[in-house]
Amino acid sequence: MAEPITSNKGYTIPNTGDLVNTWGPVVNANFALLDALQGGTGSLTVSSGTYALSTSAAQNLRILVSGFLAGAVTITISQKPGYFYFHDTTSRNGYPITVTTGSTTGRTQNLPARMGHLFSDGANVYLVTEPNHGEMKPHAAPGLPPPLWMYAYGQEVSRITYADLFAAIGTAWGAGDGSTTFNVPDMRGRAAFGGDSMGGTAAGRITTASLPIGGAFTSVGGHELLQSHSHTDAGHTHTDAGHNHGASDSGHTHSDAGHGHGAGDNGHAHSDAGHQHTQANGIYASSSGQISGGTIFGGAGTPATAVSYANIQTGHASVYVSTGYANIQTGYANISVQTGHASIQTNFANIQSSGGGNAQNMPPALVTNYIIYAGQ
């Protein structure tokens, strides 16, 4: 009589009284399966198309998937509940690997990169642990985004294929064609900011709660686009109610008790014992009284009186200048300057600007790709 087996993993369940003295091989096979489930590896090599996961491979803890993909790959598992650890070591080349039970109405699941922990209820396949649909993050690796993620550049995607993502974000970033598609956020050339009304209360820091595709980001005090604008002054007044500038002197005195300026000379002499100035040619005077060479003559040929020597003597000199004292007193001075009030009225001014274009105000930045979790 054949022994029954378990419905999920195929363990043998001996009937009571069966396998007398032969139960060892059956029980040993069960232990081998239990051991594989705890740490065994089943292998599957893929390239493109559909592959069925064998029962023996599915009884292992890890399912190692390898190969160089030339197209999309589908892996079909049995329609029995259970957990599966898929270890993807393939070269994807941009192609997806989808796990399905083969149920026409069941949910399928695309494998993430590297390790994927999946659960099947016999019809539907799910990731055990995955990011929230709609989660975004920077992605520094070049080339294609990782499996289950897509670049966020505002593109339209299917509401059916990405049903979980559509359920998460709806048409907040664009309604697509209005019926079969929707848009994901467009992060091209954008920085992410927390929504001003996040939590239900506006912080008043930015003027838009979200940033739809193609929108211009408006912040308090300005706009990312420098639009044409006007500066208007309706008129204003500068008024001075009046003020004083004052300086006071209660009186002060300048005094000199007297001083003198003096110079004294006890007497000195300048003396010359006598000297002569002689002209060898002589001096004479003509009949007209003119002086001529030779002896000195006066009148019409009359000799003049000769001077033999000179003695010049001075007496003494004493000079003294004395001042009395000076006392100069000022009265007091009180100087006060008072202004009346001033009122200056301006007319209004209206200055029209024709500026336009993008305002460049970007800090040093690291430019990278942004990806959004789509789940399929």
Amino acid identity, position 127: L
Are 53 and 122 within one domain? yes
Are 82 and 108 within one domain? yes
Mean model confidence pLDDT for the chain:
76
Q: Please tell me the predicted confidence (pLDDT) of residue 307.
A: 44
Are 350 and 373 within one domain? yes
d(CA 245, CA 200): 59
d(CA 207, CA 224): 12
Picking from 76, 99, 127, the residue at the C-terminal end of a domain is 127
Are 140 and 239 within one domain? yes
For residues 350 and 6, which has the higher predicted lDDT (pLDDT)?
Answer: 6
Q: Quickly state the pLDDT bin for 174 (edges 50, 70, 90).
A: very high
Please provide residue 129's backbone torsions phi and psi, each rounded to the nearest 5 degrees. -130, 125
Q: Quickly state the pLDDT bin for 277 (edges 50, 70, 90).
A: low
DSSP conformation class of 307: -
Amino acid identity, position 31: F
Q: Quickly state the pLDDT bin for 243 (edges 50, 70, 90).
A: low
| pLDDT greater than 90 at residue 71 | yes
pLDDT tens string 108-161: 999 998 999 999 999 999 999 889 999 999 999 888 898 899 999 999 999 999
Which H helix or E strand runs over 162?
Answer: none
Q: For the residues 82-94, what does the mean pLDDT come to? A: 94
Say which residues have a Cβ less than 8 Å from residue 206's Cβ, sequence separation at least 6.
193, 196, 217, 218, 219, 220
Q: Please tell me the predicted confidence (pLDDT) of residue 236.
A: 72
184 within 8 A of 372, measured Cβ to Cβ: yes
Terminal-residue alpha carbon distance, the chain: 47
259 within domain boundaries: no
277 within domain boundaries: no
| pLDDT greater than 80 at residue 51 | yes
d(CA 138, CA 325): 98
Are 79 and 59 within one domain? yes
Q: For the residues 82-96, what does the mean pLDDT come to? A: 94
Are 162 and 123 within one domain? no
- What is the domain range of residue 53? 40-127
Amino acid identity, position 274: G
Q: Is the dihedral of CA 25, 27, 28, 29 positive or negative?
A: positive
Q: Please tell me the predicted confidence (pLDDT) of residue 21.
A: 85
Mode of pairing for the β-strands spanning 333-338 and 49-52:
unpaired
Are 225 and 361 within one domain? yes
Tokens of 6: 């378990």
For residues 260 and 115, which has the higher predicted lDDT (pLDDT)?
Answer: 115
297 within domain boundaries: no
374 within domain boundaries: yes
Q: Please tell me the predicted confidence (pLDDT) of residue 204.
A: 81
Are 95 and 181 within one domain? no
CB-based burial label for 237 (10 Å; 0-12, 13-18, 19+): exposed
Q: Quickly state the pLDDT bin for 18 (edges 50, 70, 90).
A: confident
14 within domain boundaries: no
Identify the residue whose tokens are 């985004």.
Answer: 145
For residues 283 and 322, which has the higher predicted lDDT (pLDDT)?
Answer: 322
Question: How many domains are there within the chain?
Answer: 2
Q: Please tell me the predicted confidence (pLDDT) of residue 250.
A: 66
d(CA 33, CA 27): 10
89 within domain boundaries: yes
pLDDT tens string 19-48: 888 888 888 888 888 889 899 999 999 999
d(CA 91, CA 64): 13
Are 144 and 238 within one domain? yes
Percent of the chain with pLDDT over 90: 37
Q: For the residues 273-299, what does the mean pLDDT come to? A: 49
Are 153 and 140 within one domain? yes
Say which residues have a Cβ less than 8 Å from residue 273's Cβ, sequence separation at least 6.
309, 311
Picking from 65, 94, 127, the residue at the C-terminal end of a domain is 127
pLDDT tens string 299-355: 554 554 444 444 445 555 444 445 555 555 555 555 555 555 555 565 555 666 655
Are 79 and 188 within one domain? no
Are 143 and 217 within one domain? yes
Name the residue among 40, 48, 46 with its Cα closest to residue 84: 40
257 within domain boundaries: no
Q: Please tell me the predicted confidence (pLDDT) of residue 209.
A: 47
Mode of pairing for the β-strands spanning 252-256 and 326-330:
antiparallel
Local structure of 237: helix, strand or coil: strand
For residues 244 and 321, which has the higher predicted lDDT (pLDDT)?
Answer: 244
> Distances from the Cα of 345 to the Cαs of 230, 237, 341, 349, 351, in angstroms?
22, 5, 13, 12, 19
Picking from 127, 153, 171, the residue at the C-terminal end of a domain is 127
Q: How many CB atoms lie within 10 A of CB 264?
A: 9
221 within domain boundaries: yes
Name the residue among 208, 313, 320 with its Cα closest to residue 267: 313
| pLDDT greater than 80 at residue 359 | no
Rounded to the nearest 5 degrees, what angle is found at the Cα of 82, between the Cα atoms of 80 and 88? 110
pLDDT tens string 204-230: 887 654 555 444 555 455 455 555 567
8 within 8 A of 82, measured Cβ to Cβ: yes
